[in-house]
């Protein structure tokens, strides 16, 4: 195991939140848009273990270095979800296990096919680990930038501190995924071709595939639709450009352009949100 990876695994830990004043949200509430964004982030962080299900059916599970990282990664992401649950809870919102159970009851029907599909693809190519590492890098880049944007939008001191702590861990996830992706893509033309093809044709913003379409569009336009957001998204695209074979994909910028073109509804009531979830199932 490389020393960098060994160090990363040694430093893996449950997010420190004992000193975060969650009660502050009861008196200084987040505005409805920031709260809507946070619900999305809570749900996606809480879904990490389900992404792990799809990864482990591939030959990724044969590589002990990758599985060591993934064990720590899913543990850290779990606690990110729990921390965001505390914020939702302070706003009197459903959060944590009850919210996740509801979400997992309403996943798109194709979700149950994912392990079979990934396992079938893994039987015909040895390059899925490279695809997963690059995909992970793209998603960790965009997640970290999404949190930075939410800090700027919400302007809430307690949320700022909490998200900064989460971002520090996302930064370590970026280090791992980007270096693994760089190494694997650099070593193989077929890996570069398969990864580029997969990202170009199948990638969607973090959470697409499990979150309702209106929520994905809301998040994209709320966090990235203004001038600062669009340049933050372009910075993520430039980070992706630096991975071997992935130049010029413009994944984020394109996704945000699409979301802006479709427009977004106003903040939905609990009622329309339930309809959205039902419509997406
Ligand atoms: Fe996270
Ligand atoms: Fe992460």
CA dihedral 144, 145, 146, 150 (to 10 degrees): 100
Tell me, what's the pLDDT at 264? 67
Ligand nearest to the CA of 44: 1
Looking up residue 150, the CATH number of its domain turns out to be 1.10.620
Rg, Å, the chain Cα set: 18
Burial label for 170, CB within 10 Å (0-12, 13-18, 19+), is buried
Tokens 């830990």 sit at which residue?
13
User: How many angstroms is it from 113 CA to the middle of ligand 1?
Assistant: 25
Structural domain includes residue 261: yes
User: How many angstroms is it from 89 CA to the middle of ligand 1?
Assistant: 18
Ligand nearest to the CA of 45: 1
| Cβ-based neighbours of 169, under 8 Å, separated by 6 or more | 15, 76, 80
| Cβ-based neighbours of 173, under 8 Å, separated by 6 or more | 73, 76, 136, 140
Distance CA 185, CA 192 (A): 5
Q: Structure pTM?
A: 0.91
Tell me, what's the pLDDT at 8? 84
Domain that holds residue 46: 25-280
User: How many angstroms is it from 102 CA to the middle of ligand 1?
Assistant: 20
User: How many angstroms is it from 169 CA to the middle of ligand 2?
Assistant: 7
**Residues, CB-to-ion distance under 5 Å, ligand 2:** 140, 170, 173
Structural domain includes residue 244: yes
CA dihedral 120, 210, 56, 12 (to 10 degrees): 160
Ramachandran angles phi, psi of 236, nearest 5°? -60, -45
How crowded is residue 46: how many other Cβ atoms within 10 Å of its Cβ? 23
Structural domain includes residue 7: no
- How many domains does the chain contain in total? 1
Ligand nearest to the CA of 147: 1
Structural domain includes residue 221: yes
Distance CA 212, CA 223 (A): 17
Structural domain includes residue 229: yes
Tell me, what's the pLDDT at 2? 62
User: How many angstroms is it from 77 CA to the middle of ligand 2?
Assistant: 6
Distance CA 171, CA 166 (A): 9
Distance CA 184, CA 124 (A): 18
3-class secondary structure, 57: coil
User: How many angstroms is it from 176 CA to the middle of ligand 1?
Assistant: 14
pLDDT, block means (10 residues), the chain with 281 residues: 76 95 97 97 96 94 94 96 98 95 91 94 95 97 98 98 98 96 98 98 92 94 96 98 98 95 61 47 44
Structural domain includes residue 14: no
User: How many angstroms is it from 177 CA to the middle of ligand 2?
Assistant: 10
Structural domain includes residue 209: yes
Structural domain includes residue 11: no
User: How many angstroms is it from 271 CA to the middle of ligand 2?
Assistant: 31
């Amino acid at each position: 195991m490389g020393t960098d990876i060994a160090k990363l695994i040694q430093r893996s830990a449950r997010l420190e939140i004992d000193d975060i004043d969650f009660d502050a949200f009861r008196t200084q509430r987040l505005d409805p848009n920031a709260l809507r964004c946070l619900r999305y982030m809570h749900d996606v962080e809480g879904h990490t273990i389900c992404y792990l299900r799809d990864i482990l059916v591939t030959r990724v599970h044969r590589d002990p270095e990758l599985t060591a990282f993934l064990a720590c990664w899913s543990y850290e992401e779990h606690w990110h979800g729990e921390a965001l649950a505390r914020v939702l809870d302070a706003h009197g919102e459903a959060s944590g296990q009850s919210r996740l159970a509801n979400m997992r009851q309403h996943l798109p029907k194709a979700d149950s096919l994912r392990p079979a599909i990934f396992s079938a693809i893994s039987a015909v190519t040895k390059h899925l680990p490279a695809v997963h590492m690059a995909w992970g890098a793209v998603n960790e880049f965009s997640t970290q930038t999404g949190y930075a944007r939410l800090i700027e939008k919400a302007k809430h001191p307690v949320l700022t501190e909490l998200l900064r702590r989460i971002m520090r861990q996302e930064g370590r996830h970026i280090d791992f995924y980007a270096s693994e992706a760089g190494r694997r893509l650099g070593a193989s033309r077929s890996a570069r071709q398969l990864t580029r093809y997969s990202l170009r044709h199948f990638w969607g913003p973090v959470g697409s595939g499990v979150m309702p379409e209106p929520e994905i569009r809301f998040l994209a336009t709320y966090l990235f639709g203004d001038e600062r957001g669009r340049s933050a998204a372009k910075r993520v695209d430039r980070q992706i450009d630096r991975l071997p074979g992935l130049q010029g994909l413009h994944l984020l910028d394109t996704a945000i352009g699409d979301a802006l073109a479709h427009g977004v509804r106003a903040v939905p009531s609990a009622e329309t949100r339930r309809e959205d979830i039902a419509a997406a199932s």
